[in-house]
Amino acid sequence: MSRFVRALLGIALPVLTILIFVLLLAFSLMRLSDIEKDMRIEATQNMLWVISRAHIASLQLSAAAAEQAAGALDEELMKLRYDVFLSRMALLDDGPQRRRMEELGFAHALDALRSSLPELSGLMTDLTPENLPRIQAILFPYNRALGQAGNKAMVAEWDGLGNTLDTSREQLWQIIVSLIGISLAGAALCGHFLWAIRDARRRTRLLDKEKAFSELLIGSSGEGIVAVDNQRRCTVWNEAAERLFDQPANNTLGRALADISGFFEVGVIGKAVAAALEGRSASLLDQPFFAPKRAGPLYVDLRCFSLRDGARIIGAILLISDVTERREAQKEIADHRDHLEQLVEARTRELDAALTRERATAELYRNFGTMISHQFRTPLAIVDSALQRLMRRRDRLTPDEILERGGNARQAIARLTGLVESTLDAARLDAGQIEIRSKPCDLATIIADICARQAEQTPGRAISVDIAEGGSTLAYCDPIHAENILTNLVTNAIKYSPEDTEVSITLAATGDDVECVVANKGVLQNEEEREALFERYFRGSNAEGRPGIGVGLYMARALARLQGGDVRLLHSVSGTVQFALLLPCAARHPGALKTALLEQEPA
């Protein structure tokens, strides 16, 4: 049997026995109380006595009326008989007696007599031999009902008394059984207490053995063990502590720690001991200790724990370990590890750089292959179709048809060339091969050139330009890359908006930046697409059937950030999509601005 099960039985069995003892005792007391209640006879419950007294009073009144009519009874006695009759009737017709008469089925007799009381009172006041028959007629049904009610009440009370005796006999047997159970429970408790006494003696012997074993362990332990009481007086000082502090046990027991060694007067050591005396464990690692007769310091680990007697703290125990050799070994290992980490870090940087170059190359080839598979197929098919038609109808083609077929082929080849250039530009951007030559540039001039070229390519599309007054439109950027960014934004606005709508460009200075907002009519399908617009090779759900490989916005943002700016998707009004290009204002670079102005002056 496990110790847990034994401990559980040692607690559960006596508690269960005591609980049974209390329950049986309470049950016995309840049954005795019930018997006492059953044996008690209440005056209000002795219905036979009340009915009989009322019956006797009625008969006496009837006899007194007859004697009074014959002139043989005194008038005062007659009045007394009548008053006794009325009081007995009132007692019978009130409270529990009335309810009992209703249960017996004779309440109608009381009601009939009560209704006849005024007449009976008048007859009794003027009592004559002629009134006597009427008085007898009034009292006769009442007397007969009382006689029958008395017989019925007597039978009911005898039945109730018999039931009470049977119940009391059953309850007495229950009490006897409960007393037997109480005796058995008491015997079980006595047996348990005897077993507990024997077990306590056995445990005492085991504790004595464990105490002797603990003293042996403390004496032979390789680390110093010191125990103190609440006043920090030493109570245990083992051999390892003697060697460490060079103090024999007979000189330390009973003395304060501060008097034994200055080590215990150090602030952190004293706080650790105080924490242990307050019930909190404490650990201090690599604490320097200047031992006697030693040039250099030793290093020790100190662990402090509370000594408890139940919930009461009676002292603290200190475990002191000499870790000087371990500390020196750890220092050597740490130095060696630092050297290895430096070597590994340098090699890792070299490998990361090589891996980055390899991944960039692999990504370039992979994206280039994907682009050929998905985007180059259409222009190549157009070129192939045009050439096949030229070959099949070479003898029947007119010069205009040749020009038309050749023009379609050239447009497809131009589209194919643009796709290749976009892919190569993205690859050069990822490889860090794009050079930025920033200088003050007028974005208004760049926008005007872009709008002029776009008007030649898409003459049917309207583009409006709004340049805010009062602010400089000079930006510090690379004009070639800035033009590429704005061209991409304007081209996208025309490509993804209805043909009959206008594209608007707004240019203004905002603080330290120059902001150019390109807006078009349209709508973004969902929030996920808004987050992915600037990812490389991403194309939204509205790009189906439109040329492109999904690197325009990616390159626009990357080029803008290389120049200290950014490209953002603004939270636009309903039905409008707005992209903003932010570039540093040239005024933030006064030296470059001055140089640009000097270059623009005529020689």
Residues 12 and 125 in one domain: yes
Of 199, 220, 241, the one marking the end of a domain is 220
pLDDT of residue 58: 79
| Dihedral over Cα of 381, 385, 388, 394: its sign | negative
Copy the structure tokens of residue 308: 């408890």
Q: Provide the domain count of the chain.
A: 4
Mean pLDDT of 490-497: 85
Q: Is 200 contained in some domain?
A: yes
Residues 90 and 208 in one domain: yes
Between CA 21 and CA 15 the distance in angstroms is: 10
DSSP for 327-343 reads HHHHHHHHHHHHHHHHH
Mean pLDDT of 65-76: 73
Between CA 90 and CA 48 the distance in angstroms is: 16
Between CA 481 and CA 437 the distance in angstroms is: 9
pLDDT of residue 518: 92
Q: Crossing angle of helices 47-70/132-220, nearest 10°?
A: 160
Residues 481 and 562 in one domain: yes
Q: Is 332 contained in some domain?
A: no
From 288-292, 358-362, 439-443, 451-455, the region with the lowest mean pLDDT? 358-362
pLDDT at 386 over 70: no
Binning pLDDT at 50, 70 and 90, where does residue 44 land? very low
**The Cα angle at residue 147 between residues 141 and 148, in degrees rounded to 5:** 90
pLDDT at 601 over 50: no
Of 388, 408, 428, the one marking the end of a domain is 428
Binning pLDDT at 50, 70 and 90, where does residue 586 land? confident
Starting at the edge strand found earlier in the chain, the sheet holding 566-569 runs: 462-467, 502-510, 513-521, 576-584, 566-569
Quick one: what percent of the chain has pLDDT higher than 90? 1
Residue range(s) defining the domain that contains residue 108:
1-220
Residues 301 and 410 in one domain: no
Residues 311 and 164 in one domain: no
Mean pLDDT of 115-136: 76
Binning pLDDT at 50, 70 and 90, where does residue 603 land? very low
Residues 61 and 148 in one domain: yes
Q: Is 348 contained in some domain?
A: no
Here the CATH number for the domain that contains residue 231 is 3.30.450.20
Q: Is 495 exposed, middle or buried (0-12, 13-18, 19+ CB in 10 A)?
A: middle
Between CA 383 and CA 379 the distance in angstroms is: 6
Q: What are phi and psi of 518, to 5 degrees?
A: -110, 120
pLDDT of residue 41: 47
Distance of CA 124 to the CA centre of its chain: 91
Residues 207 and 230 in one domain: no
Helix (H, G, I), strand (E, B) or coil at 220: helix
What pTM does this model have? 0.36
Query: Which of the two residues, 384 and 518, has the higher pLDDT score?
Result: 518
Helix (H, G, I), strand (E, B) or coil at 164: helix
Q: Is 522 left (phi over 0), alpha (psi -120 to 50) or beta?
A: left
Mean pLDDT of 260-279: 83
Which of 85-89, 240-244, 491-495, 572-576 is predicted most confidently? 491-495
Residues 309 and 373 in one domain: no
* Nearest residue to 442 via CA among 552, 596, 218: 596
Query: Which of the two residues, 305 and 405, has the higher pLDDT score?
Result: 305
Q: What is the pLDDT of residues 179-237, one digit of tens each?
A: 787 778 777 777 777 887 887 788 888 777 776 666 666 656 667 788 888 888 888 88
DSSP for 66-94 reads HHHHHT-S-HHHHHHHHHHHHHHHHHHTS
Of 183, 204, 220, the one marking the end of a domain is 220
From 213-217, 228-232, 418-422, 440-444, the region with the lowest mean pLDDT? 418-422
pLDDT of residue 516: 92
pLDDT of residue 255: 84
Are 138 and 120 in contact by the 8 Å Cβ rule? The answer is: yes
DSSP for 225-240 reads EEEEETT-BEEEE-HH
Q: What mean pLDDT value characterizes the chain?
A: 75
pLDDT of residue 473: 78
Mean pLDDT of 393-401: 71
Quick one: what percent of the chain has pLDDT higher than 70? 74
Here the CATH number for the domain that contains residue 359 is 1.10.287
**How many CB atoms lie under 10 A from the CB of residue 128?**
9
Copy the structure tokens of residue 124: 């009794």
pLDDT of residue 43: 39
Q: Is 117 contained in some domain?
A: yes
* Nearest residue to 443 via CA among 402, 390, 482: 482
Residues 479 and 388 in one domain: no
Residues 574 and 594 in one domain: yes
Q: Is 44 contained in some domain?
A: yes
pLDDT at 444 over 70: yes
Q: What is the CA radius of gyration of the chain?
A: 59
pLDDT at 423 over 60: no
Between CA 520 and CA 498 the distance in angstroms is: 9
Between CA 348 and CA 321 the distance in angstroms is: 40
Residues 239 and 163 in one domain: no
pLDDT at 66 over 60: yes
Are 450 and 483 in contact by the 8 Å Cβ rule? The answer is: yes
**How many CB atoms lie under 10 A from the CB of residue 530?**
14
Residues 212 and 237 in one domain: no
Here the CATH number for the domain that contains residue 503 is 3.30.565.10
Helix (H, G, I), strand (E, B) or coil at 579: strand
Helix (H, G, I), strand (E, B) or coil at 322: strand
* Nearest residue to 579 via CA among 592, 565, 591: 565
pLDDT of residue 399: 75
Query: Which of the two residues, 226 and 589, has the higher pLDDT score?
Result: 226
Q: Is 54 contained in some domain?
A: yes
pLDDT of residue 488: 86
| Residues listed for the chain | 603
Are 234 and 250 in contact by the 8 Å Cβ rule? The answer is: no
Starting at the edge strand found earlier in the chain, the sheet holding 282-289 runs: 234-237, 224-229, 312-322, 298-309, 282-289
Distance separating the N- and C-terminal Cα atoms of the chain: 110
Q: Is 347 contained in some domain?
A: no
CA distances to 37, 90, 161, 249, 334 from 168, in Å: 10, 35, 10, 78, 92
pLDDT of residue 40: 53
Q: Is 406 contained in some domain?
A: yes
pLDDT at 45 over 60: no
Helix (H, G, I), strand (E, B) or coil at 198: helix
